[in-house]
Chain A
Amino acid sequence: MDDIASREEVVFWHFWGGKDRDVVDDVVKRFNASQDKYFVRAIAMPGNNLDTKLFLSIAGGDPPDLVNQDDPIVADWAYRGIITPFDEFVDATELKRVNQTLFPAAQKLGQFDGQTFAVANGLDIRALIYNKSFLAERNLTAPQTLEQFDQVCKQISPPGNEPRDFYAYLPDSRRLWTWGFVHGGRFLSGDDVQLNDASIVAALRWMKQFSAWYGPDQIAAFRRGDQSLPGKTFPLLPVNDQDQHGRYIFTLAGQWNTRDVVDFINRRKQKQLPHPEFGVCPLPVPAGGRQHAGWVNGNIFVIPRGAKSKTGAWEFIKFWIGETNANDAARTCAAGGWIPVSRQVVAEPYFQKFLADNPLFRRYVELAQSENQFTYPMVPGATFFVRKVNAMTEKVFLQPNAPVEPEIDATRQLIQNQISRIRQQYRKDLP
C-alpha cells in the first residue's frame, strides 16, 4: 500500500462492462504491477452518461486523466478545447514513432487539424459474414464485385413484395458510410460536405434498389424482427436447432460477431447437430470503387483538459497498445477479441496463434491494415453530421417517394450550415 501511495495516480474512466470489464481490469492490474511511478485507478461508467459526467468534471476542475470513448467526438471535443493534444506534452519524436506503428485506420481516428488528439486502442472493422454452406448448396460463391453481389442476392431472394422468412441481404440505413467509402466516395473535403459526390449518390441509389426490390414496408417490418430475436441473436445465425440458415445469408457485421458464430458452432457441436459453415469476405466493390474498403471506428483514448497526470496516462496508453510490451497487448486483444491497432502486436506469435485458431476473425485483422478503411468525418459537428446522414438515408431508403438528389442536397446544406455555425462561434478573434 505504501508503494501505491507514493505513486502518481492516473484516473481512468471507461464504459466497459461484463466480460470486457474483466479484460480491462486485467490490463490495469498488469500495468500497475509493472510500474513504480504511476498507479492507474479504473472507474467503469457503463451507460450513456459518461460524456455528461466528463463535462461536469472538467467544468468543476477535477477531470479524470484518461477517458475511453467510441463516438465520433474527436474533432468536436478537440475544437472546443475539451481534450488535450498529445503534441503538447509528448516528445515529438516519440509521438511520431508511436503514430507510425499504428495502422492507417487507427491513425485517422486520432488526428485532427494536424495534431494527435486521440490514440486508438482497438479497431472495429466491417465486412460481410455469410453462410458458406447455403451458397455452396446452390453453387454460389462469395461475391467480389457489387454486380455479382446483386445477382447472388436476386437469385437467393428474388424481388417481390411478399413477406419472407429470410433475405439474402438487406442494407441498414446507418451503413451509407460503409457503402459510400466502398463506392469510392468521400463525405468531406476540408470543411466542404461532399454528400453530393457521385460515388455517395451511387451508393445511396444502390441501397435504395433493395427497397424497390422488396418494398420498404416489408423491409421495415423485417428489420424490426432482428431486434426481437431471443437474446439478441446475431441474425445471420439460425435460431432453431433444425434450421440451417438465419434471417440473412449475408450480413454486414463487425469482428465481434465472429464470436457469436464460433459460439453457435460450438453449441451445435455439443448437441451433435450439423452446422452450416460461415465465411467472411471484404465488401464487394463496384466499378471504380475501393478494394478492401469500409467505415472504421473504434475505441480511443483521450486526455481531458485539466488532467493532472497526462504523462502517466500516456505511459498507460503505450502499455495498452503494445508500444512498451507487444506480447502483453497481444494477450489483451486475444482475450477481448479486439483488433490491435499496431502491426507489431499483430505480428506477435501469441496473436498469430490466436488468428490461426480464428480464421473468421483473421479476415477482419487483414482488412484493418487496409489504407481504404475510413472514419467518420473529422470535423466540428461530426455527431450532427452522422445523425443527419443516417436520418436522410433512412428516409430515402424507406420512403419510396423520397427523391435522392433533393434529399442529399437539403441534408448537405443542413450539415454545411452547422459546420459553418460552429466555426463561426469558436472564431479565435471573438471575445
Chain B
Amino acid sequence: MTERRQKFANLGPGLCFASPWVVGFVLLIVFPFLASLYWSFCQYDMVNPPRLVGTENYQRLFRELKTGEGFGKAVFNTAYFAVFSVPLSIALGLILAKFLSWKIRGQAIYRTIFFLPSIIPVVAASILWIWLLDPQDGMINYLLSFIGLGQQNWLNQSREAISVDNVKQIGQSIQTGGPLRVFGSKDGLVLISLWGVGNWIVIYLAALRDVPHHLYEAADIEGLGGLRKFWHITIPMLSPVIFFNLVMGLIKSVQTFTSIYIISEGTGAPNESLLVISLHLFVSAFSDLDMGYASAIAWLMFLGLAICTVLLFRTSRYWVHYRAGSV
C-alpha cells in the first residue's frame, strides 16, 4: 500500500473518532450561528415559520441606537460596565498578583484565598453580593460608613457614579451637608465583576515568573526603586498577558448575563439601568417572542466585539512588547 493510499485508509477511522466533536460543533455551533444570521433578516417567533423582512430588524436597531431606547439603552449600559469593569479588573488583578508573588510564609494559602471566589457558582455569588450591597444592612455600606459614604443605594437606584448629573448631585450634597450618594446599580455591577479577578491573577502569576530576573538585577544596579521597576520592567514584560486579558475581559463583560439576570430579576431593573445587551436579547427573544430582532442584536453584538478586538490588535503594536524569540 502506498503512503497516499495508507493516508486515505486512515481517514475514515480518523473522522469516526473525531465525529462526536465535529457533529456537535456543526449542530450546536455552526448551525445556530448561521440560522441566527438568517433569522436576523426575518420576523420569527419560534412557533410560526420565519418570514423574511429584509433589513427591518437592523433598521430598528439603528433607530434605537439613535433614540437611546431599547438597544440604545442596552449598548450604553453595557459600554459603561465594560469601560469600568475591564480596566479595574486588569489593574486589581495585576496588583494582587504582584503582592501574591512575594515569597512570604503562607504564600500558597493567600493565593488560594484570592482564587476561591472564582470557583463559586455565579448564582451563589450574585445572591451573596445582593446581601453585601444591601443599602441598610450590607457589609459594603458598613465599611464605607467609616469614610462617610455609608448610604449608597447600589443595586436599587439607576445612578451612575461617573455622570454629569451625579457630579452635580454630589456637589449639591457637599454644599447642603446632605448624605453623599455616589454609586448606583451599574457601579454595583462593576464592583461585583471584580469578584472574579482570581482567574486573572493566576495568569499574571504565571507571567510574572517568566520575567527575566537579570532585568531586575540591571535595574538594581541602576538604582531604580520598586515602583519604577514595576512600571518600566514588570508591566512591559507582562503586556502580552495584559493584552490577552483585555481582549478576553472585553468579550466576557459584553456577554455577562447570569449575574445581571439574577440581580435585576430578569428585567434590567432598576429603571432598566441593568438592561445590558445580553439581557435585552434574552427578553426580546423569549418574552417578546421576537427572535428575529434578538438574532439581529446577537449579530450586531458579534460585529461590535469583532471590531473592538481588531482595534485592540491594531493598538497593540504601540504598547505590547514581545520578547525577541517569542510570539
Q: Which residues of A contact B (CB under 8 A)?
A: 48, 51-52, 55-56, 58-59, 76, 80-82, 163, 216-217, 220-225, 227-228, 305, 381, 383-384, 387, 390-391, 394-395, 398-399, 401, 414, 418, 425, 430-431
For B266, list chain A residues within 8 Å (CB): 48
A217, A383, A391, A401: the one contacting B181 at CB < 8 Å is A217
Of B91-99, B100-108, B149-157, the one contacting chain A is B149-157
Q: Which residues of B contact A (CB under 8 A)?
A: 43, 45-48, 51, 53, 69, 130-131, 134-137, 151, 153, 155-158, 165, 179, 181, 266-272, 283, 286-289
Interchain Cβ contacts under 8 Å between A and B, 9 examples: A58-B47, A220-B153, A224-B134, A224-B156, A225-B134, A225-B136, A387-B287, A391-B271, A425-B53
| Minimum distance in angstroms from B76 CB to a CB of chain A | 15
For A401, list chain B residues within 8 Å (CB): 165
CA distance A394 to B270 in the complex (A): 7
Main secondary structure of the interface of A (DSSP, over half): helix
For B45, list chain A residues within 8 Å (CB): 80, 82
A399 touching B136 by the CB < 8 A rule? no
CA distance A227 to B268 in the complex (A): 17
B267 touching A390 by the CB < 8 A rule? yes
> Contacts A225-B134, A387-B267, A398-B271: A59 and B47 contacting too (C-beta < 8 A)?
yes
Main secondary structure of the interface of B (DSSP, over half): loop
A221 touching B135 by the CB < 8 A rule? yes
For A398, list chain B residues within 8 Å (CB): 157-158, 270-271
For B288, list chain A residues within 8 Å (CB): 381, 383-384, 418
| Minimum distance in angstroms from A199 CB to a CB of chain B | 24
> Contacts A399-B271, A414-B69: A82 and B43 contacting too (C-beta < 8 A)?
no
B46, B47, B135, B158: the one contacting A399 at CB < 8 Å is B158
Residue of B nearest to A51 (CB): B286
For A81, list chain B residues within 8 Å (CB): 47-48
| Minimum distance in angstroms from A430 CB to a CB of chain B | 7
| Minimum distance in angstroms from A212 CB to a CB of chain B | 16
A80 touching B47 by the CB < 8 A rule? yes
For B181, list chain A residues within 8 Å (CB): 217
Residue of B nearest to A384 (CB): B288
Give the residue among A59, A224, A228, A401 with the most B Cβ atoms within 10 A: A224
CA distance A398 to B45 in the complex (A): 35
Give the residue among B43, B45, B69, B268 with the most A Cβ atoms within 10 A: B45
> Contacts A51-B286, A220-B157: A225 and B135 contacting too (C-beta < 8 A)?
yes
CA distance A221 to B151 in the complex (A): 8
CA distance A221 to B134 in the complex (A): 8
A431 touching B47 by the CB < 8 A rule? no
For B130, list chain A residues within 8 Å (CB): 227
For B153, list chain A residues within 8 Å (CB): 217, 220-221, 224
CA distance A342 to B153 in the complex (A): 45
For B51, list chain A residues within 8 Å (CB): 425, 430-431
For B271, list chain A residues within 8 Å (CB): 391, 394-395, 398-399
CA distance A72 to B252 in the complex (A): 33
CA distance A390 to B275 in the complex (A): 14
Top 3 A-B pairs, shortest CB-CB distance: A221-B135, A55-B46, A395-B271
A80, A223, A414: the one contacting B289 at CB < 8 Å is A80
CA distance A305 to B287 in the complex (A): 18
B136 touching A224 by the CB < 8 A rule? yes
For B46, list chain A residues within 8 Å (CB): 55-56, 59
A221, A391, A430: the one contacting B136 at CB < 8 Å is A221
A228 touching B158 by the CB < 8 A rule? no
A216 touching B134 by the CB < 8 A rule? no
